């Protein structure tokens, strides 16, 4: 039970870090020029983590999901 709460807190923290990194990179480089690898590098994790947690697909598909939709709203895109 405790491990599950810790894991959930870690994932939420990582999600926020990913959103922040992606937002910064989208502003600096543009959406099309930003890669999953560059986001992972800025966060300090491997690209595989983004794929494992399903964030990579969400980031690529924009506003049709929680992560991409949150990025779009925060960037004023949706």
Query: Does the pTM exceed 0.85?
Result: no
| CATH number of the domain to which 47 belongs | 1.10.357.10
How many Å is the maximal CA-CA distance in the chain? 41
In contact, 58 and 65? CB cutoff 8 Å: yes
Give pLDDT tens digits for 6-24: 888 988 898 889 889 988 9
CA atoms within 13 A of residue 66's CA, in its CB half-sphere:
7
Residue 55: which domain range? 2-75
The confidence band for 74, taking pLDDT boundaries of 50, 70 and 90, is low
Give pLDDT tens digits for 52-71: 878 777 777 654 445 555 55
Count of domains for the chain: 1
According to DSSP, residue 22 is labeled H
Rounded CA separation 25/71 (Å): 11
According to DSSP, residue 45 is labeled S
């Amino acid at each position: 039970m405790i491990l599950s709460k810790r894991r959930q807190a870690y994932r939420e923290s990582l999600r926020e870090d990913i959103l922040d990194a992606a937002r910064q990179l989208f502003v600096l480089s543009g959406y099309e020029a930003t890669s999953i690898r560059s986001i992972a590098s800025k966060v300090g994790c491997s690209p595989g983590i983004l794929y494992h947690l399903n964030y990579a697909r969400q980031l690529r598909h924009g506003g049709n999901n929680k992560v991409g939709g949150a990025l779009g709203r925060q960037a004023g895109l949706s």
